[in-house]
Chain A
Amino acid sequence: MRVKGKVKKSGSNLLINVAKPEELPPSLIFHSVSLPKALGEGDSLTIDVLAVFTHALRPFPEEITQADIQLVLFQDTAHYLSPYAVKVQSLTVKLPKARIETYTKLENTNIHGSDIKYGPYENLPPFSYAPIAVHFETNQPFAVAQELVREIEISHWGNVQVTEHYNVVHQGAKSKGEFSRLDFQARPHLRGASALRNLVAKLPPRAHSIYYRDEIGNISTSNVWGDPKKTELVIEPRYPLFGGWRTTFTIGYGLPLQDFLFGLEGKRFLNFSFGSPINDLITDNLIVKVVLPEGSNDISISTPFPVKQGQETKISHLDVAGRPVVVLEKTNVVPEHNQYFQVYYRFNKLSMLREPFMLISGFFILFVSCILYMHVDMSISKSSPSYLAKLQWDEVRATIQQVVSIINQCLSKHERLEASLHDLSRTGDVQACKTARKTADSLFKEYSKELKPLLSFLQSSPQATQILPKVEELVAKEKELQERLIAKHSTIVDCYEKKIGGRELENRVASHQQKVVALKQEVDDLLDYIEEI
C-alpha cells in the first residue's frame, strides 16, 4: 500500500518531510511535521492532517459479471497508528452507500446510516493497533490514469495549447464472462452498474478548440458547456469501461495567453495548474511538459510540492533549434495536487517575427527562382540547328512586334488627323489643321524610315518566310490607307480654304471615306492575324 501525506492548517500550511527514524519499525513510512514555533509546556496546538491513500480499496470478489454489483474491502486500524501516546481518539468510516456487507465489530462501534463510528477510545499507547475490515458495496468506477502526459505549449501569438494523453484503466472488480451491449443499454443500472461511463473535466474558462480523440480518430461522444467561471467537458470513452478494461485517449484545448502568462521583473512566468482537470481520477504517473517558445532562456521552475525535473527539446512547425521543454514528473497524483506551479523564463519579443520572416523569404526565393528559370537559357548545345532556329524565330517575333507597334503608332496618328478634321468642322481653324498635317507627315516619314530595316531583316531571315507576305501586305495596306487619309485630309482642308461646304464637300470626300473605312478594316484584320502568331 502506498501512502501519501499532506498537511493543512487553517491559515498556514506546515512543512512536512519524509523522516526515517532509526529505532522505529521500518515497515512504516513516517512524515515529520515542523511546527511554526516550539510548543511550550502546557500549550496546545490543533493540527489537521489530511492524508489521501490511493489504491487502498480492494475489490472483493475480484471478478464479477456484468450483472453483479461491485463489493470492495477496506482494511485499516481502528486505533490511530502513531508513535505518540494518544489520549482520546475516534474513527469514522464514511461509506458511499448504506449497504454494508460486513464490518469488524469492536467495542464501542456504532453505525449511523452509511457511517461507521469506532470509539472514542482513551489512553492508547504508541503503536496500538486494532485491525478492522469493512466490506461494502460501491459502484463508483475506479478510474486510474496509469500514465498521463500533459503538454502545455506556449505561443506568444496569444495561445496556450494544452494536450493531455491519458491511459486509463478501470481498477475495480475485473469483468468476467461476456459483455452484452444490448443489456447494458436496456438496463444500465442493473447490467454494468460499476462501469465507467463518462469522465468530467473542468477546464479553465474561455477554453476553445477543444478536441477529444485517440489513435484511430475523433471520439464523437463528448459534450462541452461553458460559463464565465469554467468550461465543463464531459467525455465518454468509446466503450464503457468495465473492471480491468483499459483505454487511451487524448484531449486538447487552447487557452488565452493573457490568463496564464504574466511578466515579472523582465522575466515572464507561466502560472498553470499541475494535475489533471478530470474529476475523480487518480494518476499513477504524471508527466507535465511545458513547451516554451523557441529562443527562451534562463528557465526556472517553482512548484508547491517536490517533483522530478528535467529538460528536453521539441521540434515543431518552422523550428530550427527546437523549443526548450521543461519536464516535471510526479507519481501518485490526486485531485488535491491541482495547485498552480510557475515556470519563469526570458523571451525576446523580436524572435516572434522569425517564423513569419522564414515563410516570407521562402516564398520570395520560390518566386525569384521561377523568374530566373524563365529567363535563363537552359539549352545544352548552343550550336544545334533547332536552337539556332529558335533564336532566329525569337528575333523574327521581336521584329514583327516592332513592325506591329510602328503600324499601331501610325494608326494612332491617323486618328490624330481625323481628330484635327473633326476640330476643323467645329472651329474652322484651317491653320491648326495644317500644322497637324505637317507634323503627321514628318512622323509618317520617320516611321517608314524605321520600317525599312525591319522589313529587310524579315526578308533575309529564313524563319520569316511564312509570315512575311502578311507583314508586307500589312505595310502596303497601311501605306495605302495613309495616302488615302492624307488625300482626304487635303481635300477637306482645300474645301475649307475655298469655302466650299455642305453637299459638295461630302461628294468629294465620299470616295476617300469609303476606301479609308475599308482599308482600316483590312488593316485591323491583318493586325489580328499577325498578333495571333
Chain B
Amino acid sequence: MAVTKTEPINGSTTKSSAPPSTSMPLKSDLLSILSLKSLRLKTKQQELLIRVSILCLVYVLAFITRLFSVLRYESMIHEFDPYFNYRTTLFLTQKGFYEFWNWFDSESWYPLGRIIGGTLYPGLMVTAAMMYWGLRFLRFAVHIREVCVLTAPFFASNTTLVAYFFGKEIWDTGAGLVAAVLIAICPGYISRSVAGSYDNEGVAIFALLLTFYLFVKAVNTGSLAWGLASAFGYFYMVSAWGGYVFIINLIPLYVLALLITGRYSMRLYVAYNCMYVLGMLLAMQIRFVGFQHVQSGEHMAAMGVFFLMQVFYFLDWVKHLLNDKKLFEAFLRITVTCAVGVGAIALGVGTASGYISPWSGRFYSLLDPTYAKDHIPIIASVSEHQPTAWSSFMFDFHILLFLFPAGLYFCFKRLSDATIFIVMYGLTSMYFAGVMVRLILVATPAVCLISAIAVSATIKNLTMLLRTKSKVSQTGSTKGTGGGKTSSKAMLDQSQPFQRNGAIALLFGAFYLLSRYAIHCTWVTSEAYSSPSIVLAARGAHGNRVIFDDYREAYYWLRQNTPPDAKVMSWWDYGYQITAMGNRTVIVDNNTWNNTHIATVGRAMSSYEDEAYEIMRSLDVDYVLVVFGGVTGYSSDDINKFLWMVRIGGGVFPVIKEPDYLVNGEYRVDKVCSPPRV
C-alpha cells in the first residue's frame, strides 16, 4: 500500500523537474539534439499528459485508500449518525421525494415523534439517491447500501479535483497537484470519509471547498457566471451540512478584510452580491434553514457586509460625480457614520424585538470553548466536541503542521485576493479545529492547500536552481570546447559553490518528509480510522482474529423477536442504530433536539429501580437496552457514559445530584426484560 501511495507524491514532486530535464540536451551530439528538438515541440502536451495522469492516479488513490474498512470488515455503514442517514436514504429511495420531504417519523422520540423532512439536511440523502437512481437507470442493479457506503470515498475523490483547481487558482498548477495529493490521503479528512462513513461531512467538505473555489474564482475574474456557480455550490453545502454557517461567516469576513485593506473592486462587488443574494434565496429553500438565514444571529454578518458593499458602491459613484475632494471627504464621513448608526440600530431593534434570534449554543461554544461545559452538558458530552489535543493535531496533519506556517509565509510574500482568502480560511479554521476535535475536518482542506503552496514553492525554487545550474554548466561546457568564455550566470555559479549540493540535499529532504507523510497516512487510515465501531475486532491469543459483533446481535434480536410496536429505551447514543438496525421505536436518539426528554431518560437510568420503573411506565417503555462491556473489556459502555447521564439528568431534574454518584460510585442498571449484553 505504501508503495502505491508514494508513487503519486513521487510523481508530483519530480513533476516540475522531470520534463525540463529530459528536454535539456545532455550531449552535444547533433543527432540526439535533433530528436530532443522534435520531442521538445510537445513539452506542453507532455506536461498536460503528466498532469492529467497524476490527477487520475490521485483520484483513484483517494478512493482506494478509503476502502480499508471494506476490506477489513465488510461493506457496512459505520458509527451512529450514518445509520440515520442510511435509514432516511432508504426511505427516500423507496417512497420518493415528496414522501421523504413530508415524513413524520413516529419511530423516534416516542411519544413526541420527529418531523424528519424539516429537521435534516437532505443533501447527502438526495445525492446518494440520485446516484442510486442513475445507476439503476443505466441498468446496474446495485444495492442502495453499496451506494451509501461508497458515497464518501467518491466525494473524497472529487474533493481532490476541486483542491487541484483551487490550488491552481491561488498559486499555480504545481501547488494544485500537490494539494490534490495531500488532501487525498490526509488523515484529518480520511477520518470522516472512509467507506461506510455515510455522514454529512463526507459530502460537505467537497461542497465547502467547491464553494470557496468558485467564490475565489468569481472574485478573481469578476464574472457573474462564477458568482452564480458559487451560489449553487453554497446551496449544495447548505443542503448537506450545518457547517455552512462557517462559509456564510468566513466569506463576509474575507470581504470585510479586502474592504479594509483597500482591495475593493468591481470584481469583488459582483462576486459577493451575486453569491450572497442568490445563495441566500437558495438556502432558504432548505426547510431546516428557512427564514433562519435572514433572522438568526449567525447569519447577520453576511447581511451587514452586503449592505456595506452597497455603501461602498454608492460612495464610489458619488466620488465619480464629485470632483471636489474636500466635499467628498465630508460626505464620506457623514455616510459612514450614518451607515454604521443605522446598522447598529437595526441590529439592536431586531434583537430586542426578537426578530433576530441570538446565537445558538453550539455557535457560542465555538467562540468560547468553555461555554458548553458550563451551560450545555449535552454538547460537552460528545467526545468529538472536546477541545483538540496536540497529539491529535499531529496525528491528523503530520508534516502539514510544520508546512502550514511555511505556506503562510509564501502566501504573505505573494499577497493577492486569492492568497488572502486562503490565509483567512486557514487561520480561522485552525482556531476552530483547536476548539473542537471534529472541526479538524474543516481545517484540513485549508491546511493541505497552504502546505501544498509551501511544498510546491520550495521545490520549484530548488529545481529552478538546479535547472539554471545545469543549463549554465552545459553551455559552459560547450563554450569550453569552443572558446572558453564565461557568462554572467557562470559567475554567479562560482560565487555560491555549495548551492547546487544544498539544493539537492533539500530536495531529498522534502522527498523524505513527503514519503514519511504518505506512510503515516496509510498507517493511520488502516489502523485508526477504518473501524466501523459497530463491529470490533481484536487479536486472539493465537494471533487469530476475534470479532465482537454484539451490537448487531442485540439489534437483530430486537428486530426479530420483539413486537413491531415495542418501544426501546436506551441512552441516546444508540437511538439511531436501534431504529435503523433494530427497526423499533426509541425514546431518544442522536438528534439531541429535546434536552428534557433526554434528561428524563438520564433520570430513569440513574434512579433506583422502583423509581425508574415508574418513569419507564410513564414513557410506555417495553424494553431497555444497556451496554455492559465488563466481560470483553469494551470501554465505551454505559457504565463509562453513566456520569453524563447523571449530569444531563441533573441539569433538568435537580433530584439527581452528581455528587451522590461520585461518592459511592456504585449503582445498578435497571432491566425490564432486555437481553443482557456481554
Contact = CB atoms under 8 A, between A and B. Distances in A.
B140 A238 contact: no
B552 A531 contact: no
A405 B37 CA distance: 11
B370 to A, nearest CB: 40
Contacts of B547: 220
B209 to A, nearest CB: 25
B556 A239 contact: yes
A513 B483 CA distance: 8
Nearest to B471: A521
A514 B140 contact: no
B561 A246 contact: yes
Nearest to B551: A216
Given A182-B676, A217-B74, A317 B140 contact: yes
Interface in B9-47: 30, 33-34, 37, 41, 43-44
Interface string A214-251: 11111111000000000000000011000001111000
Interface in A309-347: 315-320
Nearest to A178: B673
B34 A415 contact: yes
A317 B139 contact: yes
Contacts of B479: 517
Contacts of A116: none
A91 interface: no
Interface string A148-191: 00000000000000000000000000000011111001000000
A216 B559 CA distance: 10
Interface residues of A, number: 41
A418 interface: yes
Interface residues of B, number: 39
A360 B434 CA distance: 51
A217 B555 CA distance: 12
B37 A239 contact: no
A217 B74 CA distance: 8
Interface string B534-574: 01000000000001010011011101110000000000000
B174 to A, nearest CB: 14
Contacts of B76: 217-218
B346 interface: no
Contacts of A100: none
Nearest to B577: A216
B549 A510 contact: no
B373 interface: no
B37 A216 contact: no
A388 interface: no
Contacts of A180: 676
B478 interface: yes
A198 to B, nearest CB: 15
B356 interface: no
B549 A219 contact: yes
B485 interface: yes
Contacts of B560: 245-248
Given A216-B556, A218-B74, A513-B482, A238 B549 contact: yes
Contact of B678 (A181, A221, A362, A418): A181
A432 interface: no
Contacts of B676: 178-182
A238 to B, nearest CB: 4
Contacts of B535: 217, 220
A200 interface: no
Interface string A396-413: 000000000100100110
B677 interface: yes
Nearest to A175: B561
A419 interface: yes
A227 B366 CA distance: 62
A94 interface: no
A4 interface: no
B473 interface: no
B148 to A, nearest CB: 13
A180 B549 CA distance: 17
24 contacts: A181-B678, A216-B581, A217-B76, A218-B73, A218-B74, A220-B547, A221-B549, A238-B553, A238-B557, A239-B556, A239-B557, A245-B560, A246-B560, A317-B139, A317-B141, A320-B139, A408-B41, A411-B37, A412-B37, A415-B34, A419-B30, A422-B30, A514-B482, A531-B43
Given A412-B34, A412-B37, A415-B33, 5 more contacts: A179-B675, A216-B581, A318-B139, A419-B30, A517-B483
